[in-house]
Amino acid sequence: MENKHTQNQELSLKQQVKKTVGVDVQTCYQCGKCTAGCPLNEEMDLMPNQILRMLQAEYPGYENEILTSTSIWLCLACDTCYSRCPQEVKLPQIMDFLRQESIRRNLVNPKSKNILRFHRAFLAEVERNGKLNELGLTIDYKLHSLNLFQDLQNAPSMLFKGKLGLIPHRVQNPSEIKKLFKKING
Amino acid sequence: MRIGYYPGCSLQGSGREYSESLFAVAEKCGIELEEITDWNCCGASAAHSLNHDLSVALPARTLALAEKQGLEQILVPCAACFGRLATAQQELVSSEPMRSKISNYLEMPVQGSARILTVFEFLQEHIFPVADQFIVNKLNHKTACYYGCLLSRPKDLTRLERPEDPMEMDAVMEKAGATPIDWAFKTECCGAGLSVSRTDIVAKLSAKIVEDAVSRGAESIVVACPMCQMNLDLRRKEINKQMDQGSDIPVLFVTQALGLSMGISAEKLGLNRHFVSTGKVVSCVGRKEV
């Protein structure tokens, strides 16, 4: 499912970020605005500016620490950090790359697995129908996360208010989307 | 000029009243929206978190179909879809290798040439010039205009004049006769896509937003994003547990509020589909004092 982003293990994570995302993390001078403005800083195990500093160091031990952090999965891509960064470091795009690299190296933090499960359930639903159906997504996620009863109390009123469709929306030819996924995933 | 329309998945499901109210307002003003035939999901956070190429290819397919349909401008009311379509477009336009890679995946040409409109741009350019003749009610109350993330940032995509303190939605609410308040959480994040996988975080972040709006005297929160609306409305039970005193402040889409001021019925605007009752705002119609 995920990108085979870069196969070159000999590159440091910092070099991979440069090559894949096109961002030179060396430009960060640690003003800390990214962390100060991050809506999730209270929840994170590594602060956004710390991740940048650790990338700069190119120390192998730090690479594992970054890729097993929960921070990379909590990032909501709200873009506050990037908007306020005096050096315009595209931290949200770096986070996307780090998530993909964390999967590739099999280092996803167990605490973050439900977030990953949700993303995968989402894409599986899109791959099936070309459109997202909230009911299909919810069922798929519940089965994979085993949170079977979560949100169950909301389902009847969502149905009643016409917010939860029982008949899935689809593109005209779902196999076209399946083919697209297949081509991209190789 | 024809205006293309990309509803996105939310506006056919949990956020359908956004689409219903948008169409009701457009119809009132005599403006036609032309849906992109056979559009697909933009991929949302899931695609950009897990696979970069997919996060460009999914919106690119929709952009390619719009081009085939001859649409030169596309309205994307959902903030999250707007972010994905505009980001993909930026990549397609700025990189020829990316463009040819993606059209190879899609097996159709794609330029990324159409202009993608936010809901604010659509309202300013197409509704505002004719709105005054249709506004029959004053929606007389204090409101907190909540922009969230993806209609505010990044500013090269959203084109807001003041991304840290935007005024575009405030202008719409003033037109509807409401009094927008000055508050601190206009562009903070509600927790967005963590709604299901980390409801606890969404409750905490959304509670700060609701608390600030209420403590400054707002009687409604107005939004332009189906995710913000769902988090602040559907998650209210969890939000209230995070607050000293719970709140029943309603959360409306900006198009619902504008529709009310145009005398469109609450039912047609989907105001009955909310979890927190919208009755308080409906009863503000024509109220004398704030």
A19: contact with B, CB 8 A cutoff: no
Do residues B58 and B141 share a domain?
Answer: no
Report d(CA B193, CA A61) in Å as an integer: 31
Look at residue A57 and give its three-state secondary structure: helix
Contacting residues of A for B12, CB less than 8 Å apart: 131, 165, 169
pLDDT of residue A166: 80
Out of B61, B86, B117, a domain closes at B117
pLDDT of residue A10: 84
Q: What is the mean pLDDT of chain B?
A: 96
Report d(CA B217, CA B240) in Å as an integer: 17
Taking the C-alpha atoms of B49, B51, B52 and B53 in order, what is their torsion angle to the nearest 10 degrees? -150
How many domains is chain B partitioned into structurally?
2
Residue A159 lies in a domain: yes
pLDDT of residue B289: 60
Residue A2 lies in a domain: no
Our CA-based measurement puts residue B153 at a distance from the nearest CA of chain A, in whole angstroms, of: 6
Whether the pLDDT of residue A2 is over 50: the answer is no
Candidate from A8-17, A169-178, B151-160 with smallest mean pLDDT: A8-17
User: Which residues fall within 8 angstroms of residue B244, CB to CB, at 6 or more apart?
Assistant: none
Whether the pLDDT of residue A3 is over 50: the answer is no
pLDDT of residue A9: 57
Do residues B184 and B240 share a domain?
Answer: yes
Residues B27-42 pLDDT 10s: 999 999 999 999 999 9
pLDDT of residue B123: 98
Report d(CA A138, CA A59) in Å as an integer: 40
Residue B144 near residue B187, CB atoms below 8 Å: no
Do residues A100 and A145 share a domain?
Answer: no
User: Which residues fall within 8 angstroms of residue B139, CB to CB, at 6 or more apart?
Assistant: B173, B176, B177, B178, B257, B260, B261, B281, B284, B285
How many domains is chain A partitioned into structurally?
2
Contacting residues of B for A74, CB less than 8 Å apart: 194, 198, 201
- From residue A157, how far is each of A5, A164, B274, B278 by CA, in Å? 42, 9, 10, 16
Residue A1 lies in a domain: no
Confidence of residue B209 (pLDDT cuts 50, 70, 90): very high
pLDDT of residue B36: 98
Other C-beta atoms closer than 10 Å to the C-beta of A58 total 14
Confidence of residue A1 (pLDDT cuts 50, 70, 90): very low
Whether the pLDDT of residue A62 is over 70: the answer is yes
Could you tell me what percent of chain B has a pLDDT over 90? 96
Taking the C-alpha atoms of B226, B232, B236 and B242 in order, what is their torsion angle to the nearest 10 degrees? 150
Do residues A122 and A146 share a domain?
Answer: yes
**Which ranges constitute the DSSP H helices of chain B?**
16-28, 44-50, 52-68, 79-94, 96-106, 119-122, 128-131, 155-158, 168-175, 199-215, 226-234, 236-242, 254-261, 279-282
Out of A87, A106, A125, a domain closes at A106
| Mutant choice from B197, B206, B274, B275 vs A, greatest count of A C-beta within 10 A | B197
Token reading at B113: 């040439």
ipTM entry: 0.95
Q: What is the pTM of this model?
A: 0.95
Report d(CA B23, CA B32) in Å as an integer: 8
Q: What is the mean pLDDT of chain A?
A: 92
Do residues A101 and A143 share a domain?
Answer: no
Q: Do A141 and B194 touch (CB under 8 A)?
A: no
Contacting residues of A for B153, CB less than 8 Å apart: 78-80, 82-83
Residue B140 lies in a domain: yes
Do residues B158 and B275 share a domain?
Answer: yes
Q: Do B50 and A2 touch (CB under 8 A)?
A: yes
Do residues B80 and B139 share a domain?
Answer: no
Reply yes or no: is the peptide bond before residue A48 cis, omega within 30 of 0.
no
Do residues A169 and A141 share a domain?
Answer: yes
pLDDT of residue B272: 96
Out of A88, A106, A124, a domain closes at A106
Q: Do A119 and B191 touch (CB under 8 A)?
A: no
Which residue is closest to B47 within chain A, CA to CA? Answer: A123
| Residue B75, domain CATH | 1.20.1050.140
Our CA-based measurement puts residue B132 at a distance from the nearest CA of chain A, in whole angstroms, of: 32
Token reading at B233: 């409305």
Residues A134-167 pLDDT 10s: 888 988 898 888 887 777 778 888 888 888 888 8
A32: contact with B, CB 8 A cutoff: no
Residues B186-197 pLDDT 10s: 999 999 989 889
Out of A106, A133, A148, a domain closes at A106
Q: What average pLDDT does range A174-184 have in this prediction?
A: 97
Do residues B140 and B202 share a domain?
Answer: yes
Out of B117, B150, B184, a domain closes at B117
Q: Which of residues 117-176 of A touch B (CB under 8 A)?
A: 117-120, 122-123, 126, 130-134, 138, 141, 145, 150-151, 154, 157-158, 161-165, 169, 171-172
Residues A90-133 pLDDT 10s: 999 999 999 999 999 999 999 999 999 999 999 999 999 999 99
Could you tell me what percent of chain B has a pLDDT over 70? 99
The interaxial angle of helices B226-234 and B79-94, nearest 10 deg, is 150
Report d(CA B12, CA B197) in Å as an integer: 22
Residue A118 near residue B197, CB atoms below 8 Å: yes
Domain range enclosing B194: 134-282
Look at residue B219 and give its three-state secondary structure: coil
Domain range enclosing A120: 112-185
A80: contact with B, CB 8 A cutoff: yes
Report d(CA A25, CA A66) in Å as an integer: 14
Residue B289 lies in a domain: no
Do residues A154 and A174 share a domain?
Answer: yes
Candidate from A8-22, B90-104, B105-119, B165-179 with smallest mean pLDDT: A8-22
Q: Higher model confidence: residue A148 or residue B82?
A: B82
pLDDT of residue A5: 45
Do residues B139 and B108 share a domain?
Answer: no
